[in-house]
């Protein structure tokens, strides 16, 4: 990928090994702020929404320095939809809009990861793990949530498949994202879990970071 064709100076591009730690500082500072402030979920506020989505916005900025070209731009847009979803989920009445925003985010991740190599052999273990969980979730969903959450579950499962197929940090990001959302769904619709919010947000922030860092790695396949 030609850096100049992407409109970015060559000297701003780094590999995963060369990425200066300072470029990750805003992300780690804002993550730390989120966990230290631990903004109450009730009542919802714009301050809480901002604190929650700032780490994701920091990753959007980080990706401007990546050499990934089209891949990085897709990740940036996916992260922006994730930040929008984070904002919607602050307000319970906007939960469906949050699900829709995250569905779009997962579709963009799928687009970025691509379908080469296909690696169909990954599907059986993924489906054997995910389908029973999603089936149990469906039994506990209110009728108006069945369609949006079923659509999201399909997008999430596909993203997991493509992330595992891509390898590198994208693999671990896809796994952590699935753990985070599965925990959220279980806690919200099946049975409350102790320290659920801590687990959900820790794995969520880790997932987004790992996926973003994949833009600084050389993939096993040609993405563009």
On whether the pTM is more than 0.85, the answer is yes
Residues 143-163, mean pLDDT to the nearest whole number: 97
Q: What is the mean pLDDT of the chain?
A: 90
For the chain, the straight-line distance linking the first and the last C-alpha, in angstroms and rounded, comes to 8
Question: Does the pLDDT of residue 10 top 90, yes or no?
Answer: no
* Cα Rg of the chain, angstroms: 17
- The pLDDT, as a whole number, for residue 220 is 55
Residues in contact with 155: Cβ distance below 8 Å, sequence separation at least 6, in sequence order: 103, 106, 107, 110
pLDDT digits (tens, 9 = 90+) for 53-110: 999 999 999 998 888 799 999 999 999 999 999 999 999 999 999 999 999 999 999 9
Banded model confidence at residue 42, pLDDT cuts 50, 70, 90: confident
Residues in contact with 126: Cβ distance below 8 Å, sequence separation at least 6, in sequence order: 157, 160, 161, 164
- The pLDDT, as a whole number, for residue 219 is 61
Which phi and psi (to 5°) does residue 40 adopt? -60, 145
Q: How far apart are CA 214 and CA 16, in angstroms?
A: 8
């Amino acid at each position: 990928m030609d850096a100049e064709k992407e409109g970015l100076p060559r000297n701003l591009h780094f590999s995963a090994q060369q990425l200066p730690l300072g470029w990750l500082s805003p992300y780690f500072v804002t993550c730390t702020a989120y966990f230290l402030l631990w903004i109450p979920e009730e009542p919802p506020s714009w301050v809480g929404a901002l604190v929650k989505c700032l780490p994701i916005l920091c990753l959007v900025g980080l990706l401007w320095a990546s050499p990934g070209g089209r891949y990085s731009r897709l990740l940036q847009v996916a992260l922006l939809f994730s930040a929008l979803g984070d904002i919607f989920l602050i307000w319970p009445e906007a939960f469906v809009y949050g699900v829709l925003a995250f569905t779009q985010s997962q579709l963009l991740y799928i687009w970025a990861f691509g379908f080469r190599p296909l690696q169909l052999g990954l599907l059986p273990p993924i489906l054997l793990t995910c389908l029973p969980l999603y089936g149990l979730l469906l039994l506990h969903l209110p009728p108006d949530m069945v369609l949006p959450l079923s659509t999201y579950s399909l997008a999430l499962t596909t993203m997991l498949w493509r992330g595992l197929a891509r390898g590198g940090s994208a693999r671990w990001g896809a796994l952590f994202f699935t753990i985070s959302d599965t925990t959220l769904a279980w806690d919200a619709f099946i049975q409350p879990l102790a320290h659920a919010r801590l687990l959900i947000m820790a794995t969520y922030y880790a997932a987004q970071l790992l996926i973003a860092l994949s833009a600084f790695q050389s993939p096993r396949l040609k993405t563009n």
